[in-house]
Copies of this chain bind each other. A is one copy, B any other.
Amino acid sequence: MDYVFSDKVSSLKPSVIREILKFTADPSVISLAAGNPAPETFPAKDIGDITAKIMKENPVAALQYSITEGYTPLRDTMKKRLAKDNCFNEETDELIITSGAQQANELSCKVLLNEGDTLICEAPTFIGSLNAFKSYHVALKGVEMDSDGMNLEKLEEALRTSKNPKLIYIIPNFQNPTGLCTSLEKRKAIYELAKKYGVMILEDNPYGDTRFAGEPIPSIKSMDTEGLVIYSGTFSKTLAPGIRVGFVSAPKPVISKIVVCKQVSDVHTNILAQMICDEYMNNYDMDAHLEEIRAINKRKCDIMLSAIDSSFSKKVTCTRPQGGLFVWATLPEGCDMLGFCTKAVEEYRVAVVPGTAFLINETDKTNSFRLNFTTPTDEQLVKGCEILGKLSRDMFD
């Protein structure tokens, strides 16, 4: 049988990250390539206790079919929590629980864009979202990042010149892969541009709660007076990613369509997982838990940055994140970034993700690569960065 796949899917390839992660199955490889939160931040004991309680007191609710919108108590909990930050407006918004923020972002694209419409995003950006958008055969337009977020001139040019621009996708806090935050001024300006061009914004905020330095910046959602902003979040970086629980807060008509699309996608999100999140939010100390996560992540980020400072060639520059999971390193102009990353993993057994993985076209050029500081042990962070540092000095000094 000669299989013919749909146009939208035939050009999709497994993520480069996942290919590199195959190297990391070898225990002799130090992986700085993951996108996983630190496993020591999982409240495993509490989740075990909660699960035992649910299975004892309310097993049928946890095991039977449920409604697509999500477990009502969790939705109420999240609405209240988001409303405090003006990320949920009781009068105009609705909220749905999704199977991770990945589903939130995928369905937002599905409900709003026809094949050929344009989705505008940061360049570089999260590969999982890029591939979700590509799987609906939409046109993607990347906008170069300054250190404080998307370049505004280039954003406006994209809005002005693209075919049917419908959605601006942005990760405003500790962006994946760069670790950068979009400044308050730029958030306001991006919102104004969306309003001017009648385009919606998908604000993806998986990392906002992990800020370990600096001051929180108001979300774009909190500025929204026109019903333009779809706001997605997740429990993946605050409780555990394996349970696959995320959410979307958005204007009611948008959520209605997302509900219909989620209904045909997976009916509803695993209900036990939703009950776990709700119980944790209400009967455990979520804020204290977040403080613990931040302390652990900060310590690990500091270890990575110190090791980079003391061992990398001075010609390599790095972002200095205030939260999230990633540092973005940039090699000197004109060098062979892919060669560096390949040599690092094949000869020196240290894996990082080449920056090309986060571009709309993997053949486009970047000198950067992504480093994760949450999954490795302290020792791996130090040793991995020392090895990369030595390689960088050998290649560039």
Contact = CB atoms under 8 A, between A and B. Distances in A.
Chain A, interface size category, equals 35 or more
A131 B55 contact: no
A47 B14 CA distance: 34
Interface stretch (A79-87, A235-243, A335-343, A382-390): A235-243
B257 A100 contact: no
A1 B228 contact: yes
A349 to B, nearest CB: 21
Given A12-B260, A14-B259, A243-B270, A6 B131 contact: no
A103 B256 CA distance: 19
A65 B8 contact: no
Contacts of A263: 14-15, 18, 128, 131
A133 to B, nearest CB: 8
Contacts of A269: 244, 270
B227 A257 contact: no
Contacts of A65: 35-36, 236, 241-242
Interface in A219-257: 226-228, 236, 240-244, 251, 253-254, 256-257
Given A5-B111, A5-B257, A241-B64, A264 B55 contact: no
A337 to B, nearest CB: 24
Interface in A36-61: 36-37, 39, 42, 44-45, 47-48, 51-52, 55-56, 59-61
Q: How many copies does the complex hold?
A: 2
A7 interface: yes
Contacts of A110: 6, 8-9, 135
A316 interface: no
A102 interface: yes
A29 interface: no
Given A36-B65, A63-B47, A102 B265 contact: yes
B14 A264 contact: no
Q: By CB atoms of chain B within 10 A, which of A6, A60, A106, A236 has the most?
A: A6
A261 interface: yes
Given A42-B60, A42-B63, 12 more contacts: A1-B226, A5-B257, A6-B111, A6-B114, A13-B260, A42-B59, A47-B59, A102-B264, A131-B264, A242-B271, A270-B273, A273-B273
A8 to B, nearest CB: 7
A273 B63 CA distance: 10
A204 B233 CA distance: 33
B52 A64 contact: no
B266 A99 contact: yes
Contacts of A45: 59
A39 to B, nearest CB: 5
A187 interface: no
A12 B263 CA distance: 11
B261 A9 contact: yes
Interface string A91-130: 0000000011011001000111111010000000000100
16 contacts: A3-B253, A3-B254, A6-B110, A14-B259, A14-B260, A39-B64, A44-B55, A44-B60, A48-B55, A52-B55, A63-B242, A110-B135, A128-B263, A131-B260, A135-B261, A270-B270
Nearest to A103: B266
A205 interface: no
B47 A55 contact: yes
A64 B106 CA distance: 21
A131 to B, nearest CB: 5
Nearest to A36: B65
